Every structure is written in C-alpha cells, then in structure tokens.
Amino acid sequence: KNEVEQSPQNLTAQEGEFITINCSYSVGISALHWLQQHPGGGIVSLFMLSSGKKKHGRLIATINIQEKHSSLHITASHPRDSAVYICAVGGSGNTPLVFGKGTRLSVIA
C-alpha cells in the first residue's frame, strides 16, 4: 500500500464545475504539498500546508491532521486548469518527500 493515496486517478469536468481532489496519507508528517504538473512536464508548487486551510485565487487546500487527509478544491474550473495534480508529504528535518501518483484533470470547455 502506498504511503500517499490520491483519488480520483482521472477526472474530467465541464468548465465552471467545482472540483475536489483527495489525498490520504499513512505516515506522520510535518507538511503536505500540492503540486501541479502541466502537459509540458513542468512542476509548480501550489501549496504547502501543515494545518487548516489555504487559498490562492480559485484554489483552496485543506488538511485534517487527525484524519491524515487533505483536499484540493478548484472553483469555477477552466480548461487551463487541465494538468496532473500531485500530493506529496514530508516529515520534519531531512525526511524526503513521498509523492502520490497524481490526479489527471481534464476540464472541457
């Protein structure tokens, strides 16, 4: 069993829909990261959070440490949001990041 599980693996949405991507982890962490990988392959860090909720534009990330679960929400989705969204967790100090397999999102106009 992977230490980091994401769901769904693939997601197709109509433009304007509200999207939720989930991430569950089984190890103790100090921070959880949400990353975005575009079709061209580049990776962008969206959020790093260790508690509560963060918002940036149409993106919202939440984490529940007790339940070891995080969600990434996209409001008013747009075709340019089409990408692979990756959840990664890290411990404190020098512990390397452990990645989920990613959620492939396609937003159709």
Identified binder of another protein from the candidate list 14, 66, 94, 109, rule CB under 8 A? 94
Output DSSP code: residue 101. Answer: -
| Contact predicate 93/106, CB 8 Å | no
Output DSSP code: residue 81. Answer: G
Residue 79 backbone phi and psi in degrees, to 5: -50, -30
Residue 96 as a binder of another protein (CB under 8 A): the answer is: yes
Residue 57 as a binder of another protein (CB under 8 A): the answer is: no
* Between 58 and 91, CB nearer to another protein: 91
Phi-psi group of 103: left, alpha or beta (phi > 0 → left; psi -120 to 50 → alpha; rest → beta): beta
* Between 47 and 107, CB nearer to another protein: 47
Residue 44 as a binder of another protein (CB under 8 A): the answer is: yes
Binding residues for another protein, per CB under 8 A? Answer: 30-31, 33, 35, 41-45, 48, 50, 86, 88, 90-94, 96-102
